[in-house]
């Protein structure tokens, strides 16, 4: 196989034009994502190095640029581009319509990837005091008018702001293309859209509504940069942050749509409540965009306005509760096979609940006054991204890649190695971030007090990032090998559930590899006969033993600031879970 064949396989250049564009968006999106991961790893290494040895291996400009580039590459170049690619592909396939306006998709594809290049720097050096070609702090703080000459002593290239304009253009070009094709399909539809497609359409509208404020702020910035108009910093900042909360839901609600697609399919059951799914989509669209200042609680704004934003932020809990009850009721009682798609789907479902709880605390003004702008907040949104958004995307991509390429994934073992390594690394990363936040360290703090607990938290986060990044590289290698060497399958005439079933069967948990302990094997192989204990009772007994054993490391700990304390609480927690589930299940209470 020559280089030409490899390029054809990776970019699917022998397929129809929509598949080629979608695959181009996926490939470049993954590349931007990997570059963003490298940026984040640089940041973690700097902070860990400072804690361990009081050495900063990078300059402050490089450190802050790493944060900036990580944000723009992973959230826009990767996440938004991949979300649009998924929407475009499933809009065509599930609506079964002939795609039009090829030029729009090509234009949007070019715009988003050039926008990433423009935002990066160093591209254009201008003669201005305080010019920084790293664009190091401009993007994610968005402290208007930071970066604009005449208003700030910290100045960046105008291409940074033009990059934002191109990102806005991609959002609307791609969004109009998707909405237009829903309109074309609606003219011939006799029934309502399936709920997953309702979510895909709703999120597309969410993007376009949410980008309205940032587009206005970006145009204002460009005009102010060239001194065509003046600039009101507070008004400009509020306009930008209409996008600030909406972007959280632009990134997360596609995962909700994916769950509406995946869970009924995996459970082989219809959605519990079609009406509840549609109403929750409407509520998400309303409440995700009307809280433009809930990230600005510490800005000098009227208290009544802040309280209103607090109430409206809590309102988002309503469609979330409706959604998770609906999906749980759908899956209840189903015989679901354990495979890589199921694993990522369950992770996304549970991760959204766990991460969402920390979001509710952020929305509370009194609590936010304590954790505002600390790494606790960073832990919250990284938990939502890494425990819910990304897992849902991988569940969909495992199916989508096979649909597009006609190839089964190259390695089952690599798929599971990716899952296990990613979950371990991500857990360490999130725990580390939130511990750092509890110490009161603000986000983007390159240096911090070198106290033992805080250093431990920084190292935990860094080790977690390294493990998760290495696991993700395994997935990337598996992806390339799949596109080039994966086993060809005939998918003509197969429905989406049939394709998903074929992918799921090929990626089931490897039967030849067992990580279960002898005790759990014993529980699994013993049935509930009269001559022996039920497996659930055995589980309860094992839990009771663990509870007793947990006291041993606690006894030798000496105080609460030793590793033995964490061993104690871990063993105790596992013991309680085993004994609770085992005893209640064994007594037919649950």
Look at residue 116 and tell me if it is in a domain: no
- Contact indicator for 47, 67 with CB cutoff of 8 Å: no
Alpha-carbon distance of 280 to 319, in angstroms, equals 5
Residue 564 buriedness (CB in 10 A; 0-12 / 13-18 / 19+): middle
Residue 525 has pLDDT above 60, yes or no: no
DSSP 549-581: HTHHHHHTT-SSSSHHHHHHHHHHHHHHHHHHH
**Structural tokens at position 336:** 């679901």
**Structural tokens at position 519:** 């005790």
pLDDT of 135 reads 54
Same domain (yes/no): 369, 505:
yes
Last residue of some domain: 488, 516, 544?
Answer: 516
What phi and psi, each to the nearest 5 degrees, are found at residue 552? -65, -55
pLDDT of 473 reads 94
Neighbours of 489 (CB within 10 A): 15
pLDDT in tens, 554-572: 677 666 567 777 787 788 7
Same domain (yes/no): 320, 441:
no
Alpha-carbon distance of 416 to 339, in angstroms, equals 9
pLDDT of 142 reads 53
pLDDT of 144 reads 63
pTM for the complete prediction? 0.84
Look at residue 281 and tell me if it is in a domain: yes
pLDDT in tens, 340-389: 999 999 999 999 988 887 777 777 888 887 787 788 888 988 999 999 99
Query: How many CA within 13 A on the CB side of residue 555?
Result: 5
The pLDDT of 436-445, averaged and rounded, is: 88
pLDDT in tens, 109-133: 999 999 998 887 654 455 555 555 5
pLDDT of 37 reads 93
Name the more confident of 67 and 154: 67
Question: How many structural domains does the chain have?
Answer: 2
Look at residue 4 and tell me if it is in a domain: no
Share the mean pLDDT of the chain. Answer: 84
Name the more confident of 582 and 270: 270
- Contact indicator for 267, 331 with CB cutoff of 8 Å: yes
Last residue of some domain: 306, 336, 366?
Answer: 336
The pLDDT of 292-301, averaged and rounded, is: 72
pLDDT of 63 reads 86
Look at residue 297 and tell me if it is in a domain: yes
Alpha-carbon distance of 448 to 46, in angstroms, equals 12
Residue 518 has pLDDT above 50, yes or no: no
Look at residue 502 and tell me if it is in a domain: yes
Q: In percent, how much of the chain has pLDDT > 70? A: 88
* Beta bridge pairs of residue 442: 374
Alpha-carbon distance of 533 to 543, in angstroms, equals 15
Question: What is the 3 state secondary structure string of 522-553?
Answer: HHHHCCCCCCCCCHHHHHHHHHHHHHHHCHHH
Same domain (yes/no): 295, 268:
yes
Alpha-carbon distance of 360 to 310, in angstroms, equals 10
Look at residue 204 and tell me if it is in a domain: yes
Same domain (yes/no): 412, 277:
no
pLDDT band at 393 (very low <50, low <70, confident <90, very high): very high
Contacts of residue 7, defined as CB under 8 A and 6 or more positions apart, other chains included, come to 13
* Beta bridge pairs of residue 339: 508
Same domain (yes/no): 503, 403:
yes
pLDDT of 519 reads 35
3-state secondary structure of 23: helix
Residue 62 has pLDDT above 60, yes or no: yes
pLDDT of 403 reads 92
Closest CA to 206 of 166, 167, 235, 172: 172
pLDDT of 523 reads 37
- Contact indicator for 209, 149 with CB cutoff of 8 Å: no
Same domain (yes/no): 320, 368:
no
Instruction: Write out the H or E segment, with its range, that includes residue 407.
Output: none
Same domain (yes/no): 405, 330:
no
Same domain (yes/no): 318, 380:
no
Same domain (yes/no): 492, 387:
yes
pLDDT of 131 reads 52
pLDDT in tens, 70-104: 888 999 999 999 999 999 999 898 888 899 999 99
- Contact indicator for 116, 163 with CB cutoff of 8 Å: yes
Look at residue 564 and tell me if it is in a domain: no
Of 250-254, 385-389, 460-464, minimum mean pLDDT range: 250-254
Closest CA to 171 of 211, 203, 217, 119: 211
Look at residue 416 and tell me if it is in a domain: yes
Closest CA to 48 of 432, 337, 338: 432
The pLDDT of 54-79, averaged and rounded, is: 88
Last residue of some domain: 467, 489, 516?
Answer: 516
What phi and psi, each to the nearest 5 degrees, are found at residue 48? -65, -40
Name the more confident of 262 and 491: 262
Same domain (yes/no): 417, 511:
yes
**Structural tokens at position 424:** 């371990």
Same domain (yes/no): 354, 497:
yes
Same domain (yes/no): 456, 477:
yes
pLDDT of 347 reads 96
Helix and strand totals (H; E) in the chain: 23, 0
Domain that holds residue 225: 196-336
């Amino acid at each position: 196989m020559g280089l030409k064949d490899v390029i054809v396989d990776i970019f699917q250049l022998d397929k129809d034009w929509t598949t080629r564009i979608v695959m181009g968006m996926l490939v470049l999106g993954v590349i931007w994502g990997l570059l963003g991961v490298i940026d984040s790893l640089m940041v973690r290494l700097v902070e860990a190095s400072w804690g361990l040895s009081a050495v900063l291996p990078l300059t402050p400009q490089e450190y802050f640029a790493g944060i900036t580039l990580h944000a723009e590459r992973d959230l826009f170049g990767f996440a938004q581009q991949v979300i649009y690619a998924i929407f475009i592909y499933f809009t065509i396939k599930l609506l079964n319509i002939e795609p039009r306006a090829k030029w729009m998709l090509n234009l949007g594809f070019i715009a988003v990837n050039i926008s990433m290049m423009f935002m990066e720097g160093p591209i254009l050096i201008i003669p201005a005091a305080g010019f920084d070609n790293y664009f190091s702090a401009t993007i994610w703080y968005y402290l208007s008018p930071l970066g604009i000459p005449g208003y700030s002593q910290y100045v960046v290239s105008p291409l940074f702001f033009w990059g934002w304009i191109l990102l806005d253009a991609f959002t609307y070009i791609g969004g109009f293309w998707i909405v237009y094709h829903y309109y074309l399909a609606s003219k011939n539809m006799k029934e309502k859209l399936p709920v997953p497609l309702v979510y895909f359409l709703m999120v597309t509208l969410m993007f376009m509504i949410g980008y309205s404020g940032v587009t206005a702020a970006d145009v204002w910035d460009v005009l102010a940069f060239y001194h065509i108009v003046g600039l009101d910093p507070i008004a400009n900042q509020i306009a930008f942050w209409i996008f600030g909360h909406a972007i959280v839901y632009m990134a997360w609600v596609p995962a909700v749509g994916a769950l509406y697609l995946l869970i009924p399919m995996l459970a082989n059951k219809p959605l519990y409540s079609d009406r509840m799914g549609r109403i929750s989509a409407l509520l998400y669209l309303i409440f995700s965009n009307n809280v433009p200042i809930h990230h600005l609680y510490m800005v000098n704004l009227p208290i009544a306005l802040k309280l209103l934003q607090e109430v409206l932020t809590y309102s988002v809990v309503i469609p979330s509760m409706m959604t998770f009850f609906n999906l749980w009721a759908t899956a209840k009682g189903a015989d679901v096979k354990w495979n890589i798609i199921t694993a990522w789907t369950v992770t996304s479902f549970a991760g959204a609940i766990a991460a969402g709880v920390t979001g509710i605390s952020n929305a509370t003004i009194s609590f936010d006054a304590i954790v505002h702008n600390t790494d606790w907040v960073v832990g919250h949104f990284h938990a939502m991204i890494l425990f819910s958004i990304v897992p849902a995307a991988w569940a969909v991509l495992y199916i989508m890649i096979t649909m597009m390429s006609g190839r089964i994934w190259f390695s089952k073992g690599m798929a599971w190695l990716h899952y296990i390594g990613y979950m371990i690394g991500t857990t360490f990363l999130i725990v580390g971030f939130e511990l750092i936040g509890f110490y009161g360290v603000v986000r983007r703090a390159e240096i911090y007090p070198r106290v033992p607990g805080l250093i431990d938290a920084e190292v935990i986060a860094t080790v977690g990032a390294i493990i998760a990044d290495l696991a993700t590289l395994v997935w990337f290698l598996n992806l390339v090998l799949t596109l080039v060497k994966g086993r060809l399958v005939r998918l003509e005439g197969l429905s989406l559930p049939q394709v998903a079933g074929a992918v799921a069967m090929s990626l089931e948990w490897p039967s030849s590899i067992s990580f279960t302990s002898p005790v759990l094997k014993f529980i699994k192989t013993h049935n509930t006969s009269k001559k022996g204990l039920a497996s659930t009772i055995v589980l309860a007994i094992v839990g009771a033993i663990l509870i007793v054993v947990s006291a041993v490391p606690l006894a030798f700990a000496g105080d609460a600031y030793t590793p033995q304390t964490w061993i104690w609480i871990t063993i105790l927690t596992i013991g309680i879970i085993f004994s609770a589930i085992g005893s209640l299940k064994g007594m037919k209470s649950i």
